[in-house]
Structure 1
Amino acid sequence: MTSHRDRQEKKREEALRAIDRATVESETITGSTLARMAQRAQDHLAGADADETDRIEVWGRRIGRTAGLLFAIGLVIYLVTTYLL
């Protein structure tokens, strides 16, 4: 016959295993999602979708996308300093 304390200890151990399992699975999902998003952003800024044989198109996309990113960052800074600070 198992005591009340033994049943509680088994439930506690089972709950801790479930928490550990959920933590490991969420880290895997989050890590892979962030890695995928970072890779997509890197490929986008590098112009990976351009025709590799046309160097002008590749560099044009890289320059344009980098300029757009810098403009967006500058716009956010301007708006924050103008309207929030």
Structure 2
Amino acid sequence: MNDEQEARRILDRVDREGDVLGSALRRTADHFAAREADPADRIELWGRRIGRGLSLVGVIVLAILLVRQLGAR
């Protein structure tokens, strides 16, 4: 395999991995925006958004507490 073929192979791999990351970010944004909820039911829509936002805050707080606990030893 020559250098040009190797370079093309690497660039193709980087393109594929970039697409995976972008797709994951879009899915995450859709999840927190509650896009799967019925847009006509505003209570359900905002309930899901608030619940998911609070769960994210909880995970961040727990991660901080874990890091502090591990650092205290």
| TM-score, normalised with respect to structure 1 | 0.78
Higher alpha-carbon Rg: 1
Aligned length: 72
Q: Deviations over 1:16-41 (max 9, x none)?
A: 11221112111111110000000000
Paired position in structure 2 for 1:30: 17
User: Which segments of 5 or more consecutive residues in structure 1 lack a partner in the other structure?
Assistant: 1-13
Cα offset, 1:63, TM superposition: 0.5
Look up the match of 1:78.
Answer: 65
Q: Are 2:55 and 1:48 aligned?
A: no
- Give the ranges of 4+ consecutive aligned residues of structure 1 lying more than 2 Å apart after TM superposition: none
CA distance in 2, matches of 1:73, 1:19: 41
Percent identity over the alignment is 36
Partner AA of 1:20 in structure 2: A
Amino acid at match of 1:77: I
CA distance in 2, matches of 1:19, 1:84: 44
